[in-house]
Amino acid sequence: MRGAKGGVARMKSAAAVIASFQREHVIPHCPRCSHPCCALTDVVLDLSFAEVRGLYQITSSKKVFERALPSSIRAQGGRYYAHGAPCPAFDTAAQSCRVYGTATKPRGCSDFPVYEDGDAVTVDLRCEAARAHLPALRAQLVAAVGVLDERRDDDFPDTFVTFTRARGGRPSAVPSAASAQPSSPSAHAPRRR
Protein backbone atom coordinates (compact mmCIF):
# COMPACT_ATOMS: atom_id res chain seq x y z
CA MET A 1 0.00 0.00 0.00
CA ARG A 2 2.81 2.33 0.86
CA GLY A 3 4.29 1.78 -2.58
CA ALA A 4 0.98 2.47 -4.24
CA LYS A 5 0.51 5.71 -2.33
CA GLY A 6 4.08 6.76 -3.05
CA GLY A 7 3.54 6.03 -6.71
CA VAL A 8 0.45 8.22 -6.86
CA ALA A 9 2.26 11.03 -5.06
CA ARG A 10 5.21 10.81 -7.45
CA MET A 11 2.91 10.74 -10.46
CA LYS A 12 1.17 13.88 -9.23
CA SER A 13 4.45 15.63 -8.64
CA ALA A 14 5.80 14.73 -12.05
CA ALA A 15 2.49 15.67 -13.67
CA ALA A 16 2.57 19.05 -11.95
CA VAL A 17 6.13 19.64 -13.15
CA ILE A 18 5.17 18.71 -16.71
CA ALA A 19 2.12 20.99 -16.64
CA SER A 20 4.18 23.89 -15.38
CA PHE A 21 6.92 23.21 -17.94
CA GLN A 22 4.34 23.29 -20.72
CA ARG A 23 2.85 26.50 -19.38
CA GLU A 24 6.11 28.34 -18.75
CA HIS A 25 8.39 27.13 -21.50
CA VAL A 26 6.59 25.35 -24.32
CA ILE A 27 3.34 27.21 -24.93
CA PRO A 28 4.88 30.71 -24.97
CA HIS A 29 7.43 29.51 -27.51
CA CYS A 30 4.98 27.95 -29.98
CA PRO A 31 3.98 31.15 -31.86
CA ARG A 32 7.63 31.88 -32.61
CA CYS A 33 8.84 28.32 -33.08
CA SER A 34 11.13 28.02 -36.09
CA HIS A 35 10.22 24.38 -36.67
CA PRO A 36 6.59 23.93 -35.67
CA CYS A 37 5.60 20.36 -34.94
CA CYS A 38 2.10 20.86 -36.42
CA ALA A 39 3.63 21.18 -39.88
CA LEU A 40 4.13 17.42 -39.49
CA THR A 41 7.47 17.44 -41.24
CA ASP A 42 9.18 15.47 -38.47
CA VAL A 43 6.57 14.13 -36.13
CA VAL A 44 3.59 11.96 -36.97
CA LEU A 45 0.05 12.40 -35.72
CA ASP A 46 -1.20 9.07 -34.41
CA LEU A 47 -4.98 9.16 -34.65
CA SER A 48 -8.03 7.04 -33.99
CA PHE A 49 -10.70 7.06 -36.68
CA ALA A 50 -12.83 9.41 -34.55
CA GLU A 51 -9.89 11.79 -34.33
CA VAL A 52 -9.00 11.65 -38.01
CA ARG A 53 -12.66 12.12 -38.90
CA GLY A 54 -12.95 15.25 -36.77
CA LEU A 55 -9.65 16.76 -37.78
CA TYR A 56 -9.91 16.11 -41.51
CA GLN A 57 -13.69 16.71 -41.56
CA ILE A 58 -14.46 13.37 -43.11
CA THR A 59 -18.10 12.75 -43.83
CA SER A 60 -17.82 9.42 -45.61
CA SER A 61 -17.73 5.99 -43.99
CA LYS A 62 -14.49 4.53 -42.73
CA LYS A 63 -14.41 2.09 -45.64
CA VAL A 64 -14.84 4.80 -48.24
CA PHE A 65 -12.28 7.01 -46.52
CA GLU A 66 -9.71 4.22 -46.47
CA ARG A 67 -10.19 3.56 -50.17
CA ALA A 68 -9.00 7.05 -51.04
CA LEU A 69 -6.65 8.08 -48.25
CA PRO A 70 -4.86 11.41 -48.68
CA SER A 71 -1.19 10.82 -49.45
CA SER A 72 -0.27 12.29 -46.07
CA ILE A 73 -2.24 9.68 -44.12
CA ARG A 74 -1.32 6.05 -43.68
CA ALA A 75 -3.73 3.52 -42.20
CA GLN A 76 -2.35 0.66 -40.16
CA GLY A 77 -3.80 -1.59 -37.49
CA GLY A 78 -6.88 0.54 -37.00
CA ARG A 79 -4.83 3.71 -36.51
CA TYR A 80 -4.16 6.60 -38.88
CA TYR A 81 -0.75 8.23 -39.16
CA ALA A 82 -0.60 11.73 -40.59
CA HIS A 83 2.74 13.04 -41.77
CA GLY A 84 4.25 15.11 -44.55
CA ALA A 85 1.57 17.81 -44.84
CA PRO A 86 0.55 20.36 -42.21
CA CYS A 87 -2.24 19.35 -39.88
CA PRO A 88 -5.49 20.79 -41.29
CA ALA A 89 -6.11 22.54 -37.97
CA PHE A 90 -2.78 24.33 -38.08
CA ASP A 91 -3.06 28.04 -38.74
CA THR A 92 0.30 28.60 -40.39
CA ALA A 93 0.11 32.41 -40.27
CA ALA A 94 -0.65 32.62 -36.57
CA GLN A 95 1.22 29.40 -35.79
CA SER A 96 -1.67 28.25 -33.68
CA CYS A 97 -4.14 25.40 -33.42
CA ARG A 98 -7.64 26.15 -34.69
CA VAL A 99 -9.15 23.34 -32.64
CA TYR A 100 -7.42 24.16 -29.40
CA GLY A 101 -9.78 23.74 -26.47
CA THR A 102 -12.25 21.69 -28.50
CA ALA A 103 -13.01 18.00 -28.55
CA THR A 104 -11.51 17.82 -32.05
CA LYS A 105 -7.98 18.30 -30.79
CA PRO A 106 -6.44 14.82 -30.63
CA ARG A 107 -5.48 13.69 -27.18
CA GLY A 108 -1.92 12.92 -28.26
CA CYS A 109 -1.33 16.56 -29.17
CA SER A 110 -1.50 17.56 -25.53
CA ASP A 111 1.24 15.14 -24.49
CA PHE A 112 3.90 16.54 -26.75
CA PRO A 113 6.76 17.13 -26.01
CA VAL A 114 6.81 15.63 -22.50
CA TYR A 115 5.14 12.34 -21.61
CA GLU A 116 4.67 10.60 -18.30
CA ASP A 117 4.61 6.81 -18.24
CA GLY A 118 4.51 5.38 -14.72
CA ASP A 119 7.68 6.53 -12.97
CA ALA A 120 9.28 7.64 -16.23
CA VAL A 121 9.10 11.03 -17.89
CA THR A 122 10.16 11.14 -21.52
CA VAL A 123 11.06 14.31 -23.36
CA ASP A 124 10.86 14.57 -27.14
CA LEU A 125 13.78 16.72 -28.19
CA ARG A 126 12.31 17.43 -31.61
CA CYS A 127 10.54 20.27 -29.81
CA GLU A 128 12.90 23.24 -29.80
CA ALA A 129 11.41 24.59 -26.55
CA ALA A 130 12.04 21.25 -24.90
CA ARG A 131 15.62 21.23 -26.18
CA ALA A 132 16.26 24.77 -24.99
CA HIS A 133 14.77 24.25 -21.55
CA LEU A 134 15.78 20.68 -20.81
CA PRO A 135 18.03 21.75 -17.88
CA ALA A 136 15.09 23.58 -16.28
CA LEU A 137 12.86 20.54 -16.62
CA ARG A 138 15.55 18.31 -15.17
CA ALA A 139 15.99 20.64 -12.19
CA GLN A 140 12.25 20.85 -11.56
CA LEU A 141 11.86 17.08 -11.69
CA VAL A 142 14.75 16.61 -9.30
CA ALA A 143 13.18 19.11 -6.91
CA ALA A 144 9.82 17.35 -7.15
CA VAL A 145 10.71 13.67 -7.06
CA GLY A 146 14.34 13.47 -5.99
CA VAL A 147 17.41 12.11 -7.69
CA LEU A 148 16.84 11.08 -11.27
CA ASP A 149 18.29 8.56 -13.63
CA GLU A 150 18.64 10.02 -17.08
CA ARG A 151 18.81 7.90 -20.16
CA ARG A 152 19.01 8.61 -23.87
CA ASP A 153 17.12 6.33 -26.19
CA ASP A 154 19.40 3.63 -27.57
CA ASP A 155 18.13 4.04 -31.11
CA PHE A 156 17.32 7.75 -31.11
CA PRO A 157 19.64 9.42 -28.60
CA ASP A 158 19.12 12.87 -30.08
CA THR A 159 15.36 12.53 -29.98
CA PHE A 160 14.28 11.03 -26.68
CA VAL A 161 15.56 11.42 -23.15
CA THR A 162 13.90 9.65 -20.24
CA PHE A 163 14.07 10.60 -16.58
CA THR A 164 13.23 8.01 -13.96
CA ARG A 165 13.10 8.50 -10.22
CA ALA A 166 16.16 6.95 -8.63
CA ARG A 167 15.40 4.77 -5.63
CA GLY A 168 17.23 5.19 -2.31
CA GLY A 169 18.64 8.57 -3.32
CA ARG A 170 20.91 7.27 -6.01
CA PRO A 171 20.55 6.25 -9.61
CA SER A 172 19.03 2.82 -10.10
CA ALA A 173 17.75 0.61 -12.88
CA VAL A 174 15.40 2.38 -15.24
CA PRO A 175 12.86 0.91 -17.60
CA SER A 176 14.33 -0.28 -20.85
CA ALA A 177 14.21 2.14 -23.71
CA ALA A 178 11.75 -0.15 -25.44
CA SER A 179 9.23 -0.08 -22.61
CA ALA A 180 9.59 3.55 -21.64
CA GLN A 181 9.76 5.15 -25.02
CA PRO A 182 8.17 5.03 -28.41
CA SER A 183 9.62 2.66 -30.96
CA SER A 184 10.26 5.27 -33.58
CA PRO A 185 11.09 8.94 -33.49
CA SER A 186 7.90 9.74 -35.32
CA ALA A 187 5.50 7.90 -33.08
CA HIS A 188 4.12 10.90 -31.23
CA ALA A 189 1.85 13.73 -32.03
CA PRO A 190 2.65 17.40 -31.70
CA ARG A 191 1.26 19.75 -29.15
CA ARG A 192 0.32 23.29 -29.88
CA ARG A 193 -1.91 25.91 -28.36
Residue 105 CB, nearest distance to ligand SF4 (Å)?
5
Using CB under 6 A as the binding rule, whether residue 30 contacts ligand SF4 is answered as yes
Residue 35 CB, nearest distance to ligand SF4 (Å)?
6
SS3 sequence of 48-112 = CHHHHHHHCCCCCCHHHHHHCCCCCEEEECCEEEECCCCCCCEECCCCEECCCCCCCCCHHHHCC
Q: Which stretch binds ligand SF4 (CB under 6 A): 71-79, 109-117, 142-150, 157-165?
A: 109-117
Q: Which stretch binds ligand SF4 (CB under 6 A): 12-20, 57-65, 89-97, 170-178?
A: 89-97
Q: Fill in the amino acid letter for 8.
A: V
Using CB under 6 A as the binding rule, whether residue 37 contacts ligand SF4 is answered as yes
For the chain, the C-alpha Rg in angstroms (whole number) is 18
Using CB under 6 A as the binding rule, whether residue 45 contacts ligand SF4 is answered as yes
Please check whether residue 115 is in contact with residue 122, taking contact to mean a CB–CB distance below 8 angstroms.
yes
Please check whether residue 129 is in contact with residue 26, taking contact to mean a CB–CB distance below 8 angstroms.
yes
Which chain residues interact with ligand SF4 by CB under 6 A?
26, 29-30, 33, 36-38, 45, 55, 87, 89-90, 97, 99, 105-106, 109, 112-113, 127-129, 190-192
